[in-house]
Amino acid sequence: MAVKKMICAALLSGLLLTQAAALPEMGELNAKSAALYAANGQELYTYNADEPLQPASVTKIMTMLLAMEALERGEVTLDTMVTGSEYACSMGGTQVWLEPGEQLSFDEMMKAIAVGSANDCAVAVAEHLAGTEDAFVERMNQRAVELGCTNTKFINANGLDGMGEKTMTSARDIALISCELLKHPKILDYTGIWMDSIRGGTFSLANTNKMLKSYPGLTGLKTGYISEAGYCISASAERDGLSLVAVVMAAPTKENRMADASALLNYGFANFAAYTPPADELTPVPVALGRADSVQPVMQGGASFIVEKEKISALETHMELPAALTAPVQAGQEIGKLTVTNGGETLLEVPLTAAETVEAVTVADLFLSFLGGLSGAQ
């Protein structure tokens, strides 16, 4: 299935790209569904990417995202102690055998979730952050909606089947969640661990993601398996400044899962590259009647975007920016547009936004400036 478009609905609102018909075919995959995204949210390849399927422990991608967001907001620290409840300790499947009332630091809980896929720790963290797992699941589903996920319904924090219920999602949705998780680089300190331990070195952890040892540049993220879901993975990798996410859903075997994820990543690295427009083209825009004289335009979604390798050498960038702005200007406000062309063909358009807020001057500011001018004239 050829790449038809690269659209970042979650991160690069307004980004437009033309059909990439010149790209080679991916080749046949073993999985039921797959998606390849750049970490900035650009879609590079999909195969049945909207088919609702069970993700098994890849569910923990969302659990880890909410945990990292809570860490960033200061709701927890790495040293915060998290207590295992009776319920959390009753989880089956992969676990670290928490005892009711046992406490581990948030740091060790995250390590157990990311490396050992610990179902008990996933629930313990969920309860700590939201009071109950049910309340945490509400947050999971709300966050999925915010990220543009259209085929996702979480029922718990770990991906196990419930009583007559199943977590359902899609390769595209997992890719969107994974890209959002990668906005928190700290997560790679956990997902990139091959072997480690918790409880003062008395309990060993071995990463369920064996691609860490077999695929050059792999940084994470999470594997999953239950019999109904098959073998699933969201795999992140980085080479030469290009960060990718490959999602494989319902592969028949572990070997198929690794082969498909490797094929997706190989396809991405072979055909795409990160391109950063020359910095001197993004010059500050003057601001009238503002507390600052100018504002710096930035590309929405980051400083680079992903393009086909064969087109990089002939890329041309065109900036559309006003001669001046009038305060107030809000951080994130769209103030222009960057258009990238290749031989006259428009490849993409990216909104340019204000990097910072520029407040309007007040009457008091003007009066003080006037007084300062009088003083300087004496």
Element containing residue 110 per DSSP (H, E):
helix 106-116
CA 116, CA 56: separation in Å to the nearest integer?
14
Beta strands in the chain (DSSP E): 16-17, 33-38, 43-47, 81-83, 103-105, 195-198, 203-206, 218-226, 230-239, 242-251, 272-275, 285-288, 294-295, 297-299, 305-308, 315-320, 325-326, 334-342, 345-354
Residues annotated as catalytic are 57, 60, 117
How does pLDDT run across 119-161, given as a tens digit for each residue? 999 999 999 999 999 999 999 999 999 999 999 999 999 999 8
Could you read off the pLDDT of 51-67 as tens digits, one per residue?
999 999 999 999 999 99
Q: Point out which residues pair with 346 in neighbouring strands.
A: 341
| Residue 148, token pair as written in the block | 């543009």
pLDDT in tens, 173-186: 999 999 999 999 99
Average pLDDT for the chain:
90
pTM: 0.82
